Amino acid sequence: MEYLDRIFHGDCEDVLKGLPDDSIDLIFTSPPYADQRQRTYGGIKPDQYVDWFMPKADQFFRVLKPSGTFVLNIKERAVNGERHIYVIELILEMRRRGWLWTEEFMWHKKNSYPGKWPNRFRDNWERLIQFNKRRKFNMYQEAVMVPVGDWASGRLANLSETDRTRDESRVGSGFGKNISNWVGRDMVYPNNVIHMATESSNKRHSAVFPLPLPTWFVKLFSQPGDTVLDPFIGSGTTAVAALSLGRRYVGIDTNKEYVRLSEERLADVQARMPGIAERKAKYSEEVVQGESGGTAQPSRSGRVRE
């Protein structure tokens, strides 16, 4: 099956069976949340969400390289006045099946809509949960460094003796800092809170995340030539980020209109990038379900970067 630089129409649980083991460097995706996207994705009930998701996660585990990373953008919803625990249940089940829950990032949505609810404030953030297959994985922290900030010019101008040593915390927490380590630095490592505005245009999709979001994670967890998978590709944003950064991509969606939308966006990016057209990539491959429930796949075989 030739799968690189393609958008597939079908259920990712079935499509991924045609991909080789250990062939993906990064999985970045935002699946339909529980009880949402009823018209396009059917609206999975919160109590059924783990059972629905785990067969797909098993395929993610198989195709992800041992050095790869899976980032899951998801958020609990409120049911009967309280937050449902399906995300927590999902994390626990994934750990039972061999995934490591390595880290959790927070996406602070800077321009979320104001509103009033009887028992809570507006939702202004979402989870980005990082899973890995082993403790050592590929991570390129220098690719996402940020400017040190305006504070440095004043704070670092006149260092005290305390600033030149590892000053232990006054509250006995065990944490300490050496302020002099920041002298001469223009860039520093970010934290795990990502401040980004939501997408201002829905691009004919009901839940578009902003292009800088997958771009940030593609930079952090992959290098040019690596392969990025989004098994719920939607409007194609993850694939656009991968293509723009010189990565290969694989996208999957059950909605034909979203597959076409992804194709259009990728063709536009391709047309504006010299040299990309040389790949002559075919962006869409229809997945045909057989009577037995199997999946008919293309006859040509694909390659992954060694």
Answer yes or no: are the C-beta atoms of 109 and 197 closer than 8 Å: yes
Answer yes or no: are the C-beta atoms of 4 and 227 closer than 8 Å: yes
Give me the pLDDT at residue 205, please. 43
Three-class SS of residue 58? helix
Q: What is the CATH number of domain 6-145+190-296?
A: 3.40.50.150
Question: For residue range 91-100, what is the model confidence (pLDDT) as tens digits?
Answer: 999 999 999 9
Phi/psi of residue 181, each to 5°? -65, -20
Q: pLDDT (tens digit, 0 to 9) for every residue of the chain, 306 residues total?
A: 799 999 999 999 999 999 999 999 999 999 987 765 555 445 789 999 999 999 999 999 999 999 999 999 998 888 888 889 999 999 999 999 999 999 999 999 988 777 777 888 888 899 999 999 999 999 999 999 988 765 555 556 565 655 555 555 555 555 555 555 555 567 888 999 999 988 655 454 445 689 999 999 999 999 999 999 999 999 999 999 999 999 999 999 999 999 999 999 999 999 988 765 455 444 444 444 433 344 433 323 333 333
Give me the pLDDT at residue 289, please. 42
| Alpha carbon separation from 5 to 99, 263, 267 (Å, rounded) | 27, 11, 11
Domain positions in the chain are 6-145+190-296, 150-188
